[in-house]
Structures are given as C-alpha cells and as structure tokens.
Amino acid sequence: MNELHVLMTLAGIHFLALMSPGPDFALVVQNSTRYGRQTGVLIALGLSMGILTHSILSLTGISYLVHARPQLFFIVQLLGGSYLAYLGLNGLKSIFHQRKTTSTSPKKSKDFTLTSKRQAFTRGFTTNLLNPKALVFFVSLMSTLVPQSMSLQGKFAALVILWSLSFFWFALLAWALSTQRLQQALTRYAKYIDLLCSLLFTILGCTIISEAVIHTLLG
C-alpha cells in the first residue's frame, strides 16, 4: 500500500468517525445552539487541537505505552470519565436551577470576552484530550494504517489531514447550527438540546468510569 493510499484510507475512516455521535459532536451542538457561531468555532478549534495531540502521541508511540499499561490507562479512564460526568452533571444542575428561577431570565450576550473565548477553546480541547475512547481509537488507527517505514513527509501529511478534517467538520457543524434561521427555529428546543447533551455526557462519563473499575477488579 503506497503512502497516498494510506492517507486516503486514513482520511476516510477518520471522517466517518467524526460524523458519529459522541461527546465531541454533542459539545458542538450544545454550545453552538446556546451561544452562537463564534463559541462553536472556537470549540471546534479546541476539539481539532485535541485530535492533533492524540495523533502526535499515537505516532510517537506515547499513547500506545499508556494503553499498554493498565495502571496508566486506568488513570486516564478515571480522569476522562470524571470530566465528562462533570460536564453532564453540571449541565443538569444548571437546567434544574433555571426551572426554579423566575420565568424572566437575563438575555445571553452575544459579545464574548477573552475569558469566554479561552474557555470555549479549552472546553473543546480538554473534552477530546481526556476522552479515553479517543486515545484507543487513534492508537488503533495509527498502528493499523500508518507503517513505521512511512516517510516523515507522509506522517506530517497524516497529521495535517486529521487536524484539518476535524476542524472543517466541527466548524461546519457550528456554522450550520448558528445560522439566523436555524437559531430562531432551535430557540424553542434549546432546553431540550441542553438536557439531551447533558444526559449524554453524564451517561458516557459514568460508563467509562464503571468500565474502568470493573476491568480493574476483574483483571
């Protein structure tokens, strides 16, 4: 298999994985519908940088070493699962708190401070980087498709492809969800989107933690 074929296969598999629902997808949907395009694109940038980090760690063998050591991978699972559960439970807490407050709530500002921009990027980066399922995916993807004999230029091209596809997809999703017409249509469903995404984060986080604990006890 030549390098061009490897890169095309890598791009195809990665793009299919990007389109599957998961915490990255839910994060973009939740925040783009709630805060608008700028926040959604910044989260997309954070997610794509997390994916780039996973790709580099996998290519250099660091992720494989973590995955091969049960104690280290257990820590990664606990950290990642706890973070996702935190996002979900915090979201649910916010939703229930809003229901208890008065019916008139302050309108969200469309102007984002530097702190808000940084938080959006950090939320995307951390959500992807701490997801242990992403670590496993990229270890499998790189070890299966990218041979050790691949040229430095080929590996660099692989990193560029993985990053650019990730940013393109999530930024496109953020843009589509934040168009004026769709924003108006989604306003009435915003609380249900928040609820669904928060439940997804909570379930995924708790599932990752329980799987890690059960595997450790049985192993």
CB atoms within 10 A of CB 131: 27
**Which residues are CB-neighbours of 68 under 8 A, at least 6 positions away?**
none
Query: What crossing angle do the helices spanning 23-35 and 190-218 adopt, rounded to 10°?
Result: 160
**Model pLDDT for residues 108-153, shown as the tens digit of each residue:** 444 444 357 889 999 999 999 999 999 999 999 888 888 888 899 9
Does pLDDT of 189 surpass 50?
yes
Q: Which residue has the tokens 């910044």?
A: 42
pLDDT of residue 218: 83
Q: Could you tell me the residue ranges of all domains in the chain? A: 30-99+114-218
Cα distances (Å, whole numbers) of residue 69 to 23, 65, 74, 206, 217: 25, 6, 9, 22, 15
Show the tokens assigned to 78: 């606990």
Does pLDDT of 191 surpass 60?
yes
Q: For residues 89 and 209, what is the distance between their CA atoms, to the nearest angstrom?
A: 14
Cα distances (Å, whole numbers) of residue 96 to 102, 155, 192, 210, 219: 12, 47, 12, 26, 39
pTM for the whole thing?
0.86
Least confident piece of the model among 52-61, 89-98, 132-141, 209-218: 89-98
DSSP for residue 189? G
Q: Among the residues of 101-189, which ranges form H helices?
A: 114-129, 132-145, 152-177, 180-186
